[in-house]
Amino acid sequence: MSITTREPEPFSSKLTGGKQIVPTVVLPDGSVLGNPALHEVAERLGLPAEPQARFADVTIIGAGPAGLSAAIYAAREGLETVVLERGTPGGQAALTDQIENYPGFPEGIGGMELSNQLKAQAERYGVEIVLAEAERIESDGPYRLVRTVGSEESNSWAVLVATGSDYRRLGVPGEEELIGRGIHYCATCDAPLYQGEELVAVGGGNTAAEEGVFLTKFAPKVTLLVRGDKLDASKILVDKLISSTKVEVRYHTVVKEFQGDGMLTGIVVQDTESGEEETIHPAGAFIFIGMIPNTQFLGDKIELDDWGFVVTEGNLQTTIPGVFACGDVRAGSTKQVASAVGEGATAALMIREYLKARADQFVA
């Protein structure tokens, strides 16, 4: 397998002594905060830590592409809109070095750049973006209350849950430091970066099997590392995977460590039967072991599927009337930036219809 050096050490790593700490905040006075608490950032930047308006037409939880797109559409409909975000606006997209498959950008666009443009557009229409973490959603007659950690509540007629999800990580040494520098979690997003180079994929389920085959569109060889003694995927996907001459499946194999200084250079793997370890040298590694939806704050009040994603009706409404969901947090979503933006716009229009149908109840 080949070793490829693509880019110099990212700017954020230089600020944090070689570590990739997300988020890394550089303040106007030149000081640097690594993964700071929300209140610390708010205090240092003079940002509100709770909504200035005690009531809004719509409260959106999450300032990723889905949430910001919904905010833009809602505000353009004349709805007073508050967005609660616990971290960096942009969500997973903001942490992606380059987004190559978002329509309208033939040369690609940086994830942070796209996120900043969405944020600026939302603010242009009067959307208030507040640094706050949702703790729970409550109902009080026609009102929907979003209580936040360390604050009071954001009151509105409707709530949109757009908190996204996080890729499940292996949790081995070197992984955090090399995310986006040879370690990836989305084949559709990043596989084209490795045209003609050998890759490793990790996982044994449907996603790993499907994405493993997808990687062969770009890589001459894909080595799939499977912890168990078989693939836990549908027969159709398994047959398709093992019939590919470009895929090698290694069972009873786990990752012990990712190696590299700014870029991935090696992966230490172990045979769980023999205990033997070796270091392999792919150009990149793709981890497909599932996703963790950010739904912990919902408790048992909203129906979730078996994997913890929010179940919605055709109009994107949840099991609580007036509470909607869109984007990566929603069961059945495609986990792509373009579709998240589309769902955000759709959710805003569905909320508009919800409010119009109940206009006689909503007299503030």
CA atoms within 13 A on the CB side of 172: 14
Contact 151, 130 (CB under 8 A): no
Which of the residues 189, 229, 306, 360 is marked catalytic?
189
* Catalytic residue status for 232: no
Which of the residues 186, 229, 261, 328 is marked catalytic?
186
What is the rounded CA–CA span in Å between residue 60 and residue 279? 46
* Catalytic residue status for 326: no
Return the bridge partners of 34, or none: 24
Preceding amide of 51 cis, omega within 30: no
Planar angle of CA 183, 186, 190, nearest 5 degrees:
70
What sign for the dihedral angle of Cα 281, 251, 257, 270?
Answer: negative
Q: How far is CA 46 from the centre of its chain?
A: 27
Which of the residues 29, 57, 166, 190 is marked catalytic?
190
3-state secondary structure of 281: coil
Q: Which residue has the tokens 């070197």?
A: 174
What is the rounded CA–CA span in Å between residue 174 and residue 171? 9
The catalytic residue positions are 186, 189-190
